[in-house]
Structure 1
Amino acid sequence: MRALLQAEWADADEQMRTVQGGENERGHLGASIGGRSVVPYQPSGPVPELDVDFGRLSPASRFVRAGKFHGDEWIHDPAMRGWVYAATTDQLAVRCADHLAAAGPEGWFASTDRRLGVVVDPSVVAKPNDVPEPEAREQKRGGVGSFLGKARTALGAVAEFSEGFTKSGPQFVVLWECSIDSVADDRMVGKGRSTIPYQFLRVDFVDGSALELNVNIHALI
């Protein structure tokens, strides 16, 4: 996926930073939004219809689902992928989490030195006749919808499916994207109560929301 994104999503002078997803980096998201926490997080905003087998995800433990943990103890549940923090559901971290949650085990989080986004394999995207108009064409606040690079989102733009892709068809579909200008900070943070901390990518958005994702050796910052 990293090679595909570098070749087909990134511009010639744009560098990939993080590619997070796949078999070893899938799981549920939790959320703390407006003082209310929920596990697993379900999209609170509009998302495309996707053909995803959520049965491939192990259920979160009953203790995590019930909120019976202190601080970041949720990270010790292997079924958890990350957490979103926000005051309202219209903030950027939530919109990103919406698409990751909708994509489930098929969702990849990616970032470059210019933007970040959520991508999936095209096999899970609705047929062209069922594809809704992309939210990015309706709402361009905070950098959302600033679709850069060779691979534009295929949602609502089926005619552009082949742009920048190989002759065999699209290799991925961009569900959501925003400019790096919408990011206040991104860094690796150690979490948990183990002797060796679990490494998480934390993305702080300019609107005050944040997203934390568990990473492994495939994530490079």
Structure 2
Amino acid sequence: MSPLEQKGDSVPTYKKSQALYALWRTLSNPALLSERERPPAIFSRRFDKLVSVDIPLLPEERVGQSGKDNQFTADQVFLMAVALVIMDSGLGLGATGFFICTARESLKQRYRAIMEMPMSWLPEKESSLEKDKRVYLLFQNKDIQEFYPKYDWSKVKGWSGTGRPPLIINPVYVQGLDDLKTYLDTCLQNGTNNHVLVIELAKMASVLTHYLEHAPIMTRGRHK
């Protein structure tokens, strides 16, 4: 189904129900899809919690008018997908919101670059003769902050929570599996640097975009 379009430009936008459908189809375990094609209510509530911490919309991007729904561009839904993967890895809502808000423009630019030459959305291996299109996001989350030098956390931008902000270090994008192996060889080399979160972005972006473009528009009602 053709997406809605924002007034005055040609950027497609999607309703919340379409974003939820695409995120669920992209991220949920395939074993669930035969039982539940559409997301359950708890997933919709999780979506709303992320919106409450400015993912993927900044306050000035929200509609803010009674009776009107927010619309989401594909790169904004991609931000939501990355946030959900980060939360699924174990980070809390506050830390996830802090990271996404800090990396927002970088992630949106990376999504647009990926979709200029996208991977296949189908669950198949890319040809070994083609350029490796996989893109990885890596960073390290440090919960035990006394392991690291003190810093003036009151000056950290983008953190509105109570107490110390999350300590998320060394965020980097890596293109292709060979470069990923090289990077891991250099960053995981001693007792201090011993773990890193790796998120593959390119395949996820292609699958997500496919489901967004084919997402049905649901009428108002409760998700079951």
Q: Which has the higher helix share?
A: 2
TM-score, scaled to structure 1: 0.27
Greater relative contact order structure (CA < 8 Å, 6+ sep): 2
Q: Which has the larger radius of gyration?
A: 2
Q: Which has the higher strand share?
A: 1
